[in-house]
Amino acid sequence: MSSIPSDHKYAHELKIATLAVKRASILTKSLGDSISVTRTSGSQIKDDKSPVTVGDYASQALINHALKLNFPQDEIVGEEDSDSLKDGSEEANRLSSKILEILEDVQQKTVNWKSDIGELKDLESVYTSIDLGNSEGGSKGRFWALDPIDGTKGFLRGDQFAVCLALIEDGQVVLGVIGCPNLAEKVVSNTNMTGTKGGLYSAVKGLGAYYTPLFDTNEFVPLAKQEPIKMTQETSPSKLVVLEGVEKGHSSHSTQSQIKAHLGFSEETVQSQTINLDSQAKYCVLAKGSADIYLRLPISDTYREKIWDHAAGNVLITESGGGVCDIEGKELNFGNGRYLHSKGVIAANKAVLGRVISSVKAVVNK
């Protein structure tokens, strides 16, 4: 275990972020499991997005509430607002009631955290907390970036999703916490994932990156008692493992296949050297040393990534010894508002990052 001091600069921020992400992870895991039961029973849920809607709102409400309680001056860049919940429609009322119900349930399960991250007791407080995520971000001062359920399609499928929270100061990510309720401790391939299910991944600028089981304890585990994680230094094309998204609408899989060929991957093994995961769980697998490269190539020249989709993962990679950039090799800038101005995302161990950037440029610019 590491010798991280318990009174480091971001100690309080880390504790609150961790408890909030853990509480939201318990909530979303429970909700996801209930969807799985419905799916198994044969009920039609394919077009019913209400579970993820409820989860998004509830997760954002409780995390925003925890942040406001502890850091009242901090702004939050969040994905949701409560407008559609307050329009008076039957659907809005149904969703609101469900949100309050699952919040009450998770707050009861984590009642010992009340003094640290508070509780939400009524719908007006829920709506107010959701709407705290209306910040536009920017290059000055500090704010939080939150994705309450990253990987919504994975969530609905019963696959990977994540609760992601990052602290940004003057455009730089200084702290990130990611809860991955369905991610196994060891990921080898798309079909080989073993060990404890549910992981909590944390990084603090200058202090490293860490892993601990997400659901093993109802207490906050300080960094000194977590497992330090490091990226690989693998460079051999026959051994490199690449992470990509599952959904083809999120990144260009065809371009990424050309990049892997340019890097020297053989046609016979390229499939077994590729792991497809939803959400920022990809960053977690990369940081833990189970893969070497993450490719997210833009699907169009005008597409821009949202900062909450990458902020927490960014600091996790840099603090585990890797590098993150866009397809031109430029560092990602989280100080330009709610969107990244860069094109695509590349993350890799530093030993191979330069080659990956060269291959990306060769394929994209030809």
Binding residues for Mg(2+): 79, 147, 149-150, 309
Which residues are documented as binding site? 79, 147, 149-150, 309
Residue appearing with tokens 């100080």: 335
Q: How far apart are the first and last CA of the chain?
A: 48
Concerning whether 38 is annotated as a catalytic residue, the answer is: no
Q: Half-sphere exposure of 104 toward its Cβ, with a 13 Å CA cutoff?
A: 9
Q: How many separate helices (H) and strands (E) can be counted in the chain? A: 10, 12
Catalytic residue selected from 28, 53, 56, 159:
56
Concerning whether 152 is annotated as a catalytic residue, the answer is: yes
Instruction: Please compute Rg for the chain using Cα positions.
Output: 20
Locate 139 and state its tokens.
Answer: 């290059």
> 155, 28 in Cβ contact below 8 A?
yes
Q: Concatenate the DSSP letters of all residues of 115-158 into one string.
A: HHH----SHHHHHHHHGGGB----SSSEEEEEEEEE-HHHHHHT
Residue appearing with tokens 């497992």: 227
Catalytic residue selected from 152, 212, 274, 318:
152
Catalytic residues: 56, 152
